Structure 1
Amino acid sequence: MSRTKIVLAGEGGQGVQSIAKILVEAGYEAGKQILYIPNFGVEQRGGVSIAFCQIADERIGEPRFSKGDIIIMLSDRAIDRCTAYVSENSTVVYDTSVCTKKPECKCKEIIGVDANRIANEKLSARVFNIIILGVLLAATNVLKLDDIKNAMEMALG
């Protein structure tokens, strides 16, 4: 059975939950089994925001997991809160333009992306999370790009 466990973490307002919603919508439309558990405080901006997602070919029996296949860390607080979900088989992605420290963990791969700077200088700050989504797709191949494009149109209009 193919199952990908994803942890997305950042600050409120960075679009963590939007990435998760696009992922699960794309997975659903692709005929996958999906599970999404949002975790965030009452703040609309500034609080830590975490999304736990699973995408599988078969039924997902256990909603919670202790280690993720891919961990996205978009702030220093996200690094502090989510390092526990990293295993030796995990891929870790972090934003080098927002995080002041590199995640220190034993994992398969650490990918540093200058997403916030790229978004601000080349595109728009509003697409920061979509850059991260692209990195996640490239790192996992869990879904097809066309599925993501369709889900983005449905989710974002």
Structure 2
Amino acid sequence: MKAVKINLKNRNLSLINEILLKIFYISISIVSIIAFISYISVYESEKNKQLEELRAYVSERVRIDSEIFKLAEDNLKIFEKEFMKLYNSDIKVTEDEFWSYYFIDNQGATRMKREYFAGITEYNNTFNSPEEIIKVADEKLYMAKGKGRNCLEI
């Protein structure tokens, strides 16, 4: 019978290398999963933060634009009142006078010729009410009108 010699030293090193390699793969897997979960968490957090900022911005714009549309609505009511007063009066307008204020656009619609006058004010803490803001903007509008056509006064 022949004696079989087993080299235990090499077998132990091979087993240790195998165990270390498995530990390495498991560690890499765990670190990768934790990094992925952290990325998702940070991404969601930033997304929610940006959505909140966007909501706040849109809410503020809606508030400001609502005030502008309210002013436009008030101006339209005033225009309608003045227009109906003139329409129901006995004032006669010649065709030349009419066309000095209106034109026909490329789609065949009759449009009013625009003259641009604007009075703009910026809201700050010195105003105590919306009426004060409107008053200052109105003053700026009349200052622009006094300068001539197509003016802006801030």
Common fold by TM > 0.5: no
Greater RCO structure (CA 8 Å; 6+ sep): 1
Report TM bin, short chain: under 0.3
TM-score, structure 1 as length reference:
0.25
| Structure 1 or 2: more strand by fraction | 1
**Higher helix proportion (structure 1 or 2):** 2
Which protein is bigger by CA-based radius of gyration? 2
